[in-house]
Amino acid sequence: MIKDYTPAAWGATILGIVLMAVSKSSVFDSSQINGLCIGVGAALAVLGVGHLAGKYVTKAVVTPEIEKISLREENDERNIRIRERAGWNASRIMVYLLCFLALASALMNLELYITILFVSMIIIESSLVAGSLIYYEKRM
């Protein structure tokens, strides 16, 4: 079943516009908070508008035959394995990248919280991988 994320896209767009308006109205005295509101608001607005535009464009061109072919292609065993393998490789690469960043931040004498952030991301990613492996071993 295909999920409809249109309400979430509208919510993200509206929340993004509200955050950008709040940052411009000088509700907060801190320039850092205003910058954060602009950044997060712009990202949310762009992601929401992009999703809505993509949804309406694909709705205009999709026929029942194309949808059936797309669903068959999506559930094809080979494509499922390709997506699983790509996700696993991306996960492995991210672990190495985060380890490098944690080590580099420690060697460059950056603030301790930056190094702890990278290390905690490694721990979270490893926990998610272990949890997923346990879950799917029991499920299959």
Q: Is 95 domain-assigned?
A: yes
Both 23 and 48 in a single domain? yes
DSSP for 88-111, written as a single string: HHHHHHHHHHHHHHHHHHHHTT--
Q: What percent of the chain has pLDDT above 70?
A: 98
**Which pLDDT belongs to residue 17?**
94
Looking at residue 3, what DSSP letter applies? -
DSSP for 33-84, written as a single string: HHHHHHHHHHHHHHHHHHHHHHHHHHHHH--HHHHHHHHHHHT-HHHHHHHH
Domain that holds residue 82: 77-140
* pLDDT one-digit tens code per residue, 52-73: 888 888 777 778 888 788 778 7
Both 47 and 15 in a single domain? yes
Both 53 and 95 in a single domain? no
Q: Is 101 domain-assigned?
A: yes
Alpha carbon distance 113, 54 (integer Å)? 39
Count of structural domains, the chain: 2
**Which pLDDT belongs to residue 49?**
92
* pLDDT one-digit tens code per residue, 1-18: 457 778 888 999 999 999
Both 85 and 139 in a single domain? yes
Q: Is 3 domain-assigned?
A: yes
Alpha carbon distance 41, 18 (integer Å)? 7
Both 51 and 88 in a single domain? no
Q: Is 71 domain-assigned?
A: no
> 0.75 cut: is pTM over it?
no
Looking at residue 115, what DSSP letter applies? H
